[in-house]
Amino acid sequence: MKCSQCSACCKLFMINLTEKEYRSKKYQTVFEKFGFIEDFKEAERNGANILAMNEDESCIYLKNNKCTIHKRRPTACRKFFCDSKNPQFKNMIEKITRHVKNQNSQP
C-alpha cells in the first residue's frame, strides 16, 4: 500500500508509543518535560507514551505535510493505512474521509 500523503492521520490522531519505543527515548513525548516514567504501565495510564504534538495538535514530526521520521516512524504509524480493510481502523478511516472532504470543500 502506498500513502497518498494527505497527512490527515498525522493531524487527527494521537500516537501511542509501544513500550520499546517509549523506553528508547528516540521520540519526543507529550509529557517528557516532566520527566521519564520508568513504569511503562503507569506511563500508559497517564498518557506519557503519547507522541508530542504541535499547538495545532498535529504530530510534532509533521513538516510541510511530510513525516520527518518516516523511516523510523512508530509502530502505530506503520500499521495504519487509510485504505485498510481492518475493522479496527474503521472509525479512523471515516474521520479521515470527513476531514479530507471538508478540506477539499473549503475555498
In tens digits, what is the pLDDT along the chain, a chain of 107 residues? 456 678 899 999 999 999 999 999 999 999 988 899 999 999 999 999 999 999 999 999 999 989 999 999 999 999 988 778 888 888 998 888 888 888 788 76
In the three-class reduction of DSSP (H, G, I as helix; E, B as strand; rest coil), residue 7 is classed as: coil
What does the CA dihedral 30, 8, 55, 36 come to, rounded to 10 degrees?
10
How much is the pLDDT for 52?
96
At 64-94, the pLDDT tens digits run 989 999 999 999 999 988 778 888 888 998 8
Half-sphere exposure of 18 (CA within 13 A, CB side): 9
Alpha helices in 16-106 (DSSP H): 19-24, 40-46, 75-79, 90-105
pLDDT of residue 3: 64
For the entire predicted model, the pTM comes to 0.84
Q: What is the pLDDT of residue 12?
A: 93
